[in-house]
């Protein structure tokens, strides 16, 4: 959001959404845009509406007399409430259909029920008991999830002309006198406020999940450690049953680790947002109590970690029982055993539902001090004049992929600049966003939000033809795969980009010097596929530099090379960087990079975390 509120009024809306309800989310986005686009007297505005992690956000501005009176504000709030209630009802139906048992679970429960019937003191109809317990769990989870969804939405008004800020959160309305120095900052706390408001019911639900699981697990532990010696009638059925429980425990432990990451992320946001949320003191202590979850997050996280240890101990117990079963007998506690076999897989399934439903929370990334929507309202700021030494600059890049029902947050507000003649290394584990970042900077992919500038010119404003010409003449690429044309000689492969770009002036001289610099002068007429891996990579380097680009992007260029050959390739990068003044951006896992690069940046989870 912009710091300038000259348009008198600003409205921000945030809804919690079901990320798996993609069709419903698209419909909600369109309806929300349509609702906010038309002002009260027919004047059309242009709101921004889009997804942010697990929320749907909208932001728009109004002029003059729009929404000055209480009735007009209530009217738009009621329309928003109705719209969201319809979405929640539709999501509830989808949730119900998703939480029904699938065929695999039905088969697993049938095996467990048959196993129980082979154990003495088995209750009547164990299959029906499992079905009943499973249905109770589903109904409870549905009710809890809907409670969170219904309470996790916020409407925020800023009225410069009226001299008032107003916020509606969890059905309560708060007012404060507009202050020219702090109201824009109050709007900038909207994303943190939205997250912490959601955290209140969410963490309460997780606390209840922890208590319920601990209560059940205590009895389950007793069930697997008893002195009742039971003869196994059907060893194969026993083996299948214990195998199912072992698999469920693995899934449950993974779910708990996801939940722990969610709690840790909320704790980080709570800490980093503390100073920004202080601005909301102007709304009174009531609003702080409304969004304060009241939980010790570190303690909650620690208790879930202890629960993982307990489940790991259960894995040991089940493995021990499985070994006993091979010999034809198991030692258990019959008083608790049947209920343990019924309750454990259902409790573990509940953990997985909670973890999967809010998986994206672990990747929450509010834009501290700036608010959520920076794309269109701050484009002018992004197009400020750049230092002439800066060749390329990435500003607040966001990129999200949805390969299936999951979400991958490849970039989460990443900033990076590269100077003329600089050798920059980007290090980080797989999945940290390194390749996505250089693809955005090279114009090979489009960010969801943010901008890339080449010498101060916004890449997104270029036509496809201009962008293609830019990549041919100003940008070079070196990839892990060689992609050399076996029909052409080394010389011809290096010459190819120059001919495509029609930069043939003194081409022979340029290529000859390049091949000499790269130690390939004696291989100009060779078939490139007959060269070693290091030599082929040097041909690629030559091809990327033949047009004297401003910058070369290299993605894992030493990944297929042995360490000594990899160092040689990096030394050629360094040499061309020094001799020709070409900037190199090298994405790598290679820790040897420190002896070659001018600067190293570290990436993790779509963010640059240090240099």
Choose between 569 and 308: higher pLDDT. 308
Task: For strands 457-458 and 329-332, give the pairing.
Answer: unpaired
Q: What's the chain's Rg over C-alpha atoms?
A: 30
186 pLDDT above the threshold of 70: no
Report how far apart, in Å, the C-alpha atoms of 422 and of each of 298, 356, 425, 594 are: 42, 43, 10, 13
Q: What is the pLDDT of residue 164?
A: 67
Percentage of the chain lying above the pLDDT 90 cut: 21
pLDDT digits (tens, 9 = 90+) for 461-498: 888 888 888 888 888 888 767 678 888 998 998 898 88
Four-point Cα dihedral 76, 82, 86, 92, nearest 10: 110
Edge-to-edge strands, sheet with 607-610: 475-479, 551-555, 583-588, 423-427, 599-604, 607-610
Q: What is the pLDDT of residue 281?
A: 54
| Lowest model confidence (mean pLDDT) among 49-63, 319-333, 358-372 | 358-372
The C-alpha atoms of residue 201 and residue 169 are separated, in whole angstroms, by: 13
Q: How confident is the model at residue 225 (pLDDT cuts 50, 70, 90)?
A: confident
Q: How confident is the model at residue 66 (pLDDT cuts 50, 70, 90)?
A: low
DSSP 419-455: ETT-EEEEE--TTSSHHHHHHHHTTSS--SEEEEEET
184 pLDDT above the threshold of 70: no
246 pLDDT above the threshold of 90: yes
Tell me what the mean pLDDT of segment 351-369 comes to. Answer: 78
Phi, psi of 105 (to 5 degrees): -70, -40
280 pLDDT above the threshold of 80: no
Three-state SS sequence of 525-585: CCCHHHCCHHHHHHHHHHHHHCCCCCEEEEECCCCCCCHHHHHHHHHHHHHHHHHHCCEEE
- Are 592 and 567 within 8 A, CB to CB? yes
Highest mean pLDDT range out of 60-69, 101-110, 303-312, 317-326? 303-312
497-530 as b/e: b if 16+ CB within 10 A: bbeebebeeeeeebbeebbebbebeebeeeebee
- Are 325 and 238 within 8 A, CB to CB? yes
The residue with tokens 């002896």 is: 595
Q: What is the pLDDT of residue 206?
A: 93
pLDDT digits (tens, 9 = 90+) for 512-555: 888 888 888 898 998 888 888 888 888 888 888 888 888 999 88
The residue with tokens 């060749």 is: 391
Choose between 1 and 598: higher pLDDT. 598
Q: How confident is the model at residue 265 (pLDDT cuts 50, 70, 90)?
A: confident
Highest mean pLDDT range out of 10-14, 157-161, 566-570? 10-14
pLDDT digits (tens, 9 = 90+) for 366-397: 654 444 443 334 444 444 455 678 888 988 88
175 pLDDT above the threshold of 50: yes
Helix (H) or strand (E) holding 271: helix 235-272
Q: What is the pLDDT of residue 347?
A: 93
Q: How confident is the model at residue 413 (pLDDT cuts 50, 70, 90)?
A: confident
70 pLDDT above the threshold of 60: yes
- Are 220 and 344 within 8 A, CB to CB? yes
Question: Which residue from 474, 480, 473 is spatially nearest to 540, judged by alpha carbons?
Answer: 480
141-172 as b/e: b if 16+ CB within 10 A: bbebbeebbbbbbbbbbbbbbbeebbbbbeee
Q: How confident is the model at residue 116 (pLDDT cuts 50, 70, 90)?
A: very high
| Lowest model confidence (mean pLDDT) among 22-26, 218-222, 596-600 | 218-222
Give the number of other Cβ atoms within 10 Å of residue 175's Cβ: 14
The C-alpha atoms of residue 298 and residue 211 are separated, in whole angstroms, by: 16
The C-alpha atoms of residue 131 and residue 134 are separated, in whole angstroms, by: 5
Choose between 411 and 171: higher pLDDT. 411
Highest mean pLDDT range out of 153-157, 173-177, 375-379, 423-427? 423-427
Walk me through the domains of the chain, giving residue ranges and CATH numbers: 9-363 (no CATH), 379-610 (3.40.50.300)
């Amino acid at each position: 959001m912009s710091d300038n509120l000259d348009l008198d009024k600003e409205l921000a809306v945030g809804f919690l959404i079901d990320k798996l309800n993609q069709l419903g989310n698209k419909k909600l986005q369109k309806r929300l845009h349509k609702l906010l686009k038309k002002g009260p007297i027919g004047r059309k505005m242009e709101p921004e509406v889009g997804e942010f992690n697990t929320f749907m956000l909208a932001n728009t501005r109004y002029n003059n007399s729009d929404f000055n009176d209480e009735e007009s504000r209530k009217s738009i709030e009621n329309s928003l409430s109705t719209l969201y209630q319809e979405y929640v009802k539709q999501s509830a139906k989808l949730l119900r259909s998703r939480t029904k048992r699938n065929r695999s679970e039905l088969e697993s429960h049938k095996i467990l029920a048959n196993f129980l019937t082979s154990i003495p003191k088995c209750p009547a109809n164990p299959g029906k008991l499992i079905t009943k317990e499973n249905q109770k769990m589903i109904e409870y989870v549905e009710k809890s999830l809907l409670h969170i969804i219904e309470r996790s939405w916020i409407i925020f008004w800023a009225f410069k002309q009226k001299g008032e800020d107003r916020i509606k959160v969890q059905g309560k309305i708060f007012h404060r006198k507009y202050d020219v120095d702090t109201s824009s900052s109050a709007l900038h706390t909207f994303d943190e406020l939205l997250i912490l408001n959601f955290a209140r019911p969410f963490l309460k639900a997780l606390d209840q999940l922890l208590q319920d699981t601990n209560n059940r697990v205590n009895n389950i532990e007793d069930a697997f450690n008893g002195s009742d010696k039971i003869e196994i009638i059907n060893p194969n059925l026993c083996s299948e049953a214990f195998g199912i429980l072992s698999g469920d425990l693995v899934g449950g432990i993974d779910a708990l680790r996801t939940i722990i990451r969610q709690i840790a992320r909320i704790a980080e946001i709570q800490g980093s947002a503390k100073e920004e949320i202080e601005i909301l003191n102007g709304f009174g202590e009531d609003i702080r109590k409304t969004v304060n979850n009241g939980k010790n997050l570190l303690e909650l996280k620690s208790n879930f970690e202890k629960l993982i240890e307990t489940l790991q101990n259960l894995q040991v117990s089940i493995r021990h029982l499985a070994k006993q079963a091979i010999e034809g007998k198991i030692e258990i506690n019959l008083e608790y055993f049947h209920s343990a076999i019924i309750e454990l897989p259902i409790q573990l399934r509940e953990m997985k539902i909670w973890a999967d439903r809010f998986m994206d929370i672990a990747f929450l990334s509010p834009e501290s001090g700036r608010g959520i929507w920076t794309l269109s309202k701050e484009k002018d700021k992004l197009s400020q004049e750049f230092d002439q030494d800066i060749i390329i600059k990435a500003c607040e890049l966001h990129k999200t992929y949805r390969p299936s029902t999951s979400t991958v947050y490849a970039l989460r507000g990443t900033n990076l600049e590269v100077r003329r003649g600089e050798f920059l290394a980007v290090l980080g584990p797989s999945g940290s966003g390194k390749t996505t970042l250089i693809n955005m900077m090279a114009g090979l992919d489009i960010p969801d939000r943010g901008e890339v500038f080449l010498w101060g010119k916004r890449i997104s404003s270029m036509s496809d033809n201009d962008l293609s010409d830019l990549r041919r003449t100003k940008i070079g690429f070196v990839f892990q795969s060689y992609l050399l044309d076996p029909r052409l000689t080394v010389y011809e492969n290096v010459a190819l980009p120059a001919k495509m770009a029609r930069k043939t002036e003194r081409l022979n001289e340029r290529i000859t010097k390049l091949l000499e610099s790269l130690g390939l002068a004696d291989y100009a007429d060779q078939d490139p596929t007959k060269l070693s891996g290091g030599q082929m990579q040097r041909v690629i380097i030559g091809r990327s530099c033949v047009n004297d680009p401003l910058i070369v992007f290299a993605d894992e260029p030493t990944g297929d090379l042995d360490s000594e050959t990899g160092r040689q390739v990096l030394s050629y990068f360094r040499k061309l960087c020094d001799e020709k003044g070409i900037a190199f951006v090298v994405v790598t896992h290679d820790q040897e990079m420190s002896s070659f690069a001018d600067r190293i940046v570290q990436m993790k989870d779509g963010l640059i975390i240090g240099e």
